[in-house]
Structures are given as structure tokens and as C-alpha cells.
Amino acid sequence: MQKYLKFVLLVAVVVTITRCTKSNADADVKADTKPVASEVEKIVLKKDTLEGQMTIPGELIAYQQVDLYAKVTGFVKELKVDIGSKVKAGQVLIVLEAPEMAAQLSAAQSRLKSQEATYTASLANYNRLVETSKTPGTISQNDLEQAEARRDAALANLDAAKASYNEINDIKNYLVIRAPFDGTITARNVNIGAYVGPGGRGSEVPALTLQEQDRLRLVVSVPEAYTGYLNKGDEVDFRVRSFPSDNFKAKLVRLSGALDQKFRSQRVEADIKNTDGKFLAGTVADVNLTMRSSPDSFTVPKPTVVTTSEGAFVIKIVDGKAQRVNVKKGLQFEGQIEVFGNLKEGDVLLKKGNEEIKDGAEIR
């Protein structure tokens, strides 16, 4: 009997311990499934304009630049300019010499005169036959038609001779290289006596390089993410290393309207007056672009946006509970960030988002 009572007591103790353990486990499960309560700061969403500056490298280049080559084969007879020479549009820069061209022009002129004489004789013969044929029975119709055909053939040969002469004469004009616009000679790669031309040794590099430097282009490549914040007429500031203490201003006058396929950026340009020659073409500049968001966009403090490998989101408080809202990020300046998403003015957001706060969590 004593052994039996000990056994019953042991069983009762085991059952009691099991029930207590189960109750504690159930309590733990319920505690785990209960939404997390957090004490947080909140902000009320409102529309605002975010404005700031971004520094991007740029370059000052010549407003116009052209490499001048010899179009015909010849030798440099006269070189009238050098590096740094200021020239006007139409000014003679180089005179070439091609003796064989003079012979070609002389031969073409002789053929032209010969064809003129042949046409004159054919025309006179045809006119006489026409006058004679007015007397019935004097000239056959076949003779008249033959004379007319010879006149037309002579006229065609004359036109061909004129075209050949004009072509050679025009090519002769290419022996003189002139400036296409006002500018400065910045490179010279030939000397007097040099052999140049389309097939000559002087064709590997341009004979001269001409730049228009009274006006320069400030060229900047703006990354794709910021192209929507720039407009024609926007003012930019820039600095150059040659004048480190000076700050210069310009206005954007051209936007390419397309992205560079390699660098995914848009080319924008501003015109710079340089009549005093203060800036050199090719100068690198540090350009400050003013970025301004739309007045209808939402801006929040940077800690409000939570960024994960899956994207970015903010936490909106709805009826005392957390609700994640996926957003896209825009401009970021001085601790503020522009956001786009399913948001409206007056929404209440957590000032400091946290990835550990899940949807439905209670917010105090």
C-alpha cells in the first residue's frame, strides 16, 4: 500500500508539471503573435519644394571648331598663318601648288574652244539649209534632218566640254584654303613645301585647326536621375582652376533631349562670352547645378525612408497600426528626401522608420 501511494503521488506531480509547462508555452506563443507595440515620433505629410545644388564636372569648349584638310593633291606654296593667328571668314590661310592641274585646265580649255567651233559650223550649216529649203524641191527632208542632228550633237559635245572645264576650274579653287568663320588658329601641322592632299602624307592629320573662341560652350553631362529637374534658362554657377577665387554664372541654353547610351547622361550647354580671351578652350570647370523639385511633391526626413534590398518604404500610421507604403526616392538634400508613392497630404508617418516594424504592429 505504501508503494502504491508513492506511485500515485509521483504521477500527480508529473501531470502538474506538464500542465504548467504547456500553459507557459501557450503564453509564450500568444506573446509572440501579439503585434509589437512601439513608442515613436510621427510627422504629418505635406507638400513642399526641395531645392539644393549639385556639383558636376564640366568643360569649356570652342563654340565652333573645324579641322582643315587639303581636298586636292599638291604642295604647300604659301602658309599665311600660324598658331595663335586671328583670322576672319574667307581669309586665305594656305595656298597649294599643283603643276599638273594647270595642264589639265589648259587641255579642257582647248577642248571647249574646239567644240564651240564645231557647234558654230553645224549651226550655220543647218540655218542655211533651212533657208534654202523654203524653195520647194531644193533640199530634201532627209538632208535637213541630218543637218539638225549634227547641230544637236555638236551642242551636246559643247555642253560636256563646258562642264569638264568648269569642274577642273572649280578643283583649281581648292588649291586655296580659306577660313570658314572668324576664329583662332590653334594647331598647324604643315610647313611650306609639304606634300598634302586626300592621298598624300599630309592627310593623316589636319593641316590647320580653327576654333571660334570669342564664345565658348560650357558642356555638362547630367546623370539620368536628375535630368527631370533641369530646364532651359536655369542659371548655373561654375569655377575654373585658373581663377580659383572667382565664381562665374551662366544660363542653360541647350538641352540635348536624349541620353548618352554609354554614360546614361544628358548633355546640357550654356554659352560663355569670351571676347577678352579670359577662358581657354578645353578648360575643366566645376559646375553647380540648382535642382528644384515640383511644388506638388512630398519631402520627408531621410530617416523616415527605410531602404532594403527589395526597395524603399515608409511606415504610415493608420488607426494606431503600422502600414508599410512602398516609395520611390527623388532628390536628396540636407537631410531631406523627395518621395513618390501611394501617399496623400495629411498622412501620418513614422519619423524614424524601422525594418523590424511589421504591417499591423501597434503604434503608441
| Eight-class DSSP state of 163 | H
* Distance of alpha carbon 202 from alpha carbon 149, whole angstroms: 50
Q: Does position 97 have pLDDT exceeding 60, yes or no? A: yes
Q: Does position 207 have pLDDT exceeding 50, yes or no? A: yes
What's the pLDDT tens digit per position in 325-340?
A: 999 988 888 888 888 8
Considering the domain architecture, whether residues 268 and 324 belong to the same structural domain is answered as: no
pLDDT recorded at residue 32: 43
* Distance of alpha carbon 105 from alpha carbon 172, whole angstroms: 8
Range 240-269 average pLDDT: 93
Name the band, by pLDDT with cuts 50, 70 and 90, for residue 200. Answer: low
pLDDT recorded at residue 217: 96
Q: Is residue 340 situated within a structural domain? A: yes
Q: Is residue 21 situated within a structural domain? A: no
Cα-based distances in Å from 40 to 31, 358, 362: 21, 14, 11
**CATH code for the domain of 323:** 2.40.420.20
**CATH code for the domain of 269:** 2.40.30.170
pLDDT recorded at residue 158: 92
Q: Does position 18 have pLDDT exceeding 80, yes or no? A: no
Considering the domain architecture, whether residues 249 and 283 belong to the same structural domain is answered as: yes
What's the pLDDT tens digit per position in 115-130?
A: 999 999 999 988 988 8
Task: Identify whether the C-beta of residue 113 lies closer than 8 Å to the C-beta of residue 107.
Answer: no
The secondary structure element, H or E, covering residue 227 is: none
Residue 254: which domain range?
Answer: 55-63+215-292
pLDDT recorded at residue 239: 95
Q: Is residue 262 situated within a structural domain? A: yes
Task: Identify whether the C-beta of residue 323 lies closer than 8 Å to the C-beta of residue 356.
Answer: no
What's the pLDDT tens digit per position in 169-184?
A: 888 888 999 999 999 9
For the chain, what is the domain count? 3
* Distance of alpha carbon 222 from alpha carbon 80, whole angstroms: 42
pLDDT recorded at residue 199: 62
Domain end position, chosen among 108, 143, 174: 174
Question: Which grid coordinates are listed for 113?
Answer: 574652244
pLDDT recorded at residue 334: 80
More confident residue, 285 or 24: 285
pLDDT recorded at residue 19: 54
pLDDT recorded at residue 98: 86
Q: Does position 25 have pLDDT exceeding 80, yes or no? A: no
pLDDT recorded at residue 8: 45
Task: Identify whether the C-beta of residue 230 lies closer than 8 Å to the C-beta of residue 290.
Answer: no
* Distance of alpha carbon 180 from alpha carbon 172, whole angstroms: 18
Q: Does position 156 have pLDDT exceeding 90, yes or no? A: yes
Considering the domain architecture, whether residues 284 and 318 belong to the same structural domain is answered as: no
Q: Does position 110 have pLDDT exceeding 70, yes or no? A: yes
* Distance of alpha carbon 62 from alpha carbon 183, whole angstroms: 10
